[in-house]
A = this chain, B = another copy of it.
Amino acid sequence: MSENSDDLGFDLVDFMPYLLNQAAEATSIEFQHFYKARYGMLRTEWRIVFHLGRYGAMTAKEICNRTNMHKTKISRGVGALESKRYLKREIDTSDRRLEKLSLTPQGARVFGELNKAAQDFNADFARLFSAEEGLILRRCLKRIAGL
């Protein structure tokens, strides 16, 4: 905290929103390489692919609820993924407002590769910390994010 005689307060690095943001940025930028450079995907798109690959077919709304991304972001991500042929839509016959989204075989393959990369990334990441640190870090972040 470094309170000092001039009462200027803490250093920026001790300000949690800043520190969290810097840590998140640094990490995101690293992982971007996998989905951006190789598959031309945006973060939103990668998240959608992850959701559909990991949890199965669902509607855009369900992805919204799970991630608290805004629906317009999802709508555009879905459009982009569709034009890349990674995803297909199927309109629910009992409620024609709903679109069930699912990965195409090609999309599933991309998910497989990215998911593998993500697991490796996470494993490497974990090596930065002791077991106790990792546990506490994860617990604290979940609490902050309200998860």
Interface residue A12 (Cβ < 8 Å from any Cβ of B): yes
Q: A11 touching B128 by the CB < 8 A rule?
A: no
- Chain A interface size band reads 35 or more
> With a CB–CB cut-off of 8 A, which chain B residues contact A139?
133
Against B, the Cβ 8 Å flags (1 = close, 0 = not) of A102-120 are: 0000000000000110110
Q: Is chain A's binding surface mostly helix, strand, loop or mixed?
A: helix
Q: Which of B19, B47, B138 contacts A138 (CB 8 A)?
A: B19
Interface members, chain A 25-55 (any B CB < 8 Å): 25-28, 30-31, 47, 50-51, 53-54
Q: B17 touching A24 by the CB < 8 A rule?
A: yes
Interface residue A142 (Cβ < 8 Å from any Cβ of B): yes
Interface members, chain A 114-147 (any B CB < 8 Å): 115-116, 118-119, 121-122, 125, 128-129, 132-133, 136-147
Q: B21 touching A144 by the CB < 8 A rule?
A: no
CB of A65, distance to nearest CB on chain B (Å) = 13
Q: B23 touching A125 by the CB < 8 A rule?
A: no
Q: Which of B16, B27, B53 contacts A125 (CB 8 A)?
A: B16
Q: A10 touching B128 by the CB < 8 A rule?
A: no
Residues of A within 8 A of B (CB): 8-28, 30-31, 47, 50-51, 53-54, 66-68, 115-116, 118-119, 121-122, 125, 128-129, 132-133, 136-147
